[in-house]
Structure 1
Amino acid sequence: MSTESNKAVARRLYEEVITNHRPELVDEIVAEDVVDETLGADAVALAREGFRQHVEGVWATVKDVKASVLDTVAEDDRVVVFWRIEGVQQGPLFGVPPTGRHFVGHSISTITFRDGKIVRYRVLPDRLGIQSQLLEPRA
């Protein structure tokens, strides 16, 4: 697959799967043997089902979640995605109990592809930036 088609699939992950709540697309764009590094030691064992659980966890934690792709950089089978997430915290997030507060965060993900499907997923979120928004004293 071309780098452009991989970038398009990466964009679909955030804009269609996450923002538009389309779990049926996971089977289409994620390989059965995906390694979702956000799952830690369980990543290999859980594979696609673990990835699906990760997505469902985002929906459960962030009400009205919107994931926007800001930029992508691709080479060979890898795409780096610079993206923004926003919504209202309704579940525990980065050690912060539910606050009902709106937040905006930025993340960088590295996604590896094989035959047009995601086979490895890694994300580096701005945890401190998100935590500070959720924990800042109310006026």
Structure 2
Amino acid sequence: MIAKELVRAFLLQVRSGQHPEYAERFLAQKVLAHQVQAENPVTLERSPRDYAEHVEEMKGLFGAFEIEIEDILAEGDRVYARWIQRGRHRGVVDGRPPTGERLTQLTSAVYRVADGRIAEYWIQIDRAGLTAQLEGTLRYGC
């Protein structure tokens, strides 16, 4: 499977929450996950099992969410993807109790593919937009 199609399938099957248990089909045994945020960049080491657990946690926070891929571009071993995630506020997010309100996250990531698996990624999430929604000061068209 070429890198672009691998990442697309990963997003639609695993990241979407549809089949987090498929993570081992797409991820290397050790994945470097760079959380790109200006005030506190963090790099985590994830295994396929860790990633599946992470997706299950997201399902607890956002319910049965959906992902809409807006862009996916590839060059060499790098794949850029940008997507919208839509769900509902079902769990405590940033200290705020669940409201059931619709929540939208705008996300982009660059994935590095090696030996047919995702080996590393750099992810950016619009955290300010999510905070504004949680505070009731912004509503995305869901």
How many residue pairs end up in the alignment? 133
The structure 1 segments of at least 4 consecutive aligned residues displaced by more than 3 Å after TM superposition are: 94-97
Identity over aligned pairs, percent: 26
Look up the equivalent residue of 1:93 and give its one-letter code: V
**1:92 counterpart SS class:** coil
Q: Is the 8 A contact 1:7 1:79 kept in 2?
A: yes
1:21 aligns with 2:31: no
Q: How far off its partner does 1:23 sit? A: 2.2
Q: How far off its partner does 1:121 sit? A: 2.2
1:57-112 CA-partner distances (Å, limit 9, x unpaired): 21111112001111112111111101110000112334543222101221111111
Q: Is the 8 A contact 1:35 1:47 kept in 2?
A: no
Q: Is the 8 A contact 1:60 1:91 kept in 2?
A: yes
CA distance in 1, matches of 2:10, 2:89: 21
Q: Is the 8 A contact 1:72 1:80 kept in 2?
A: yes
Is there any run of 5+ residues in structure 1 with no aligned partner, and where?
none
TM-score by length of 2: 0.80
Higher alpha-carbon deviation: 80-89 or 6-15: 6-15
CA RMSD of aligned residues (A): 2.3
Q: Is the 8 A contact 1:18 1:66 kept in 2?
A: no
CA distance in 1, matches of 2:8, 2:117: 12
Q: Is the 8 A contact 2:16 2:65 kept in 1?
A: yes
CA distance in 1, matches of 2:127, 2:82: 15
Q: Is the 8 A contact 1:14 1:68 kept in 2?
A: no
Look up the equivalent residue of 2:115 and give its one-letter code: D
Higher alpha-carbon deviation: 15-24 or 66-75: 15-24
Higher alpha-carbon deviation: 69-78 or 98-107: 98-107
CA distance in 1, matches of 2:16, 2:47: 22
User: What is the match of residue 107 of structure 1?
Assistant: 107
User: What is the match of residue 86 of structure 1?
Assistant: 86
Structure number having the greater helix percentage: 1
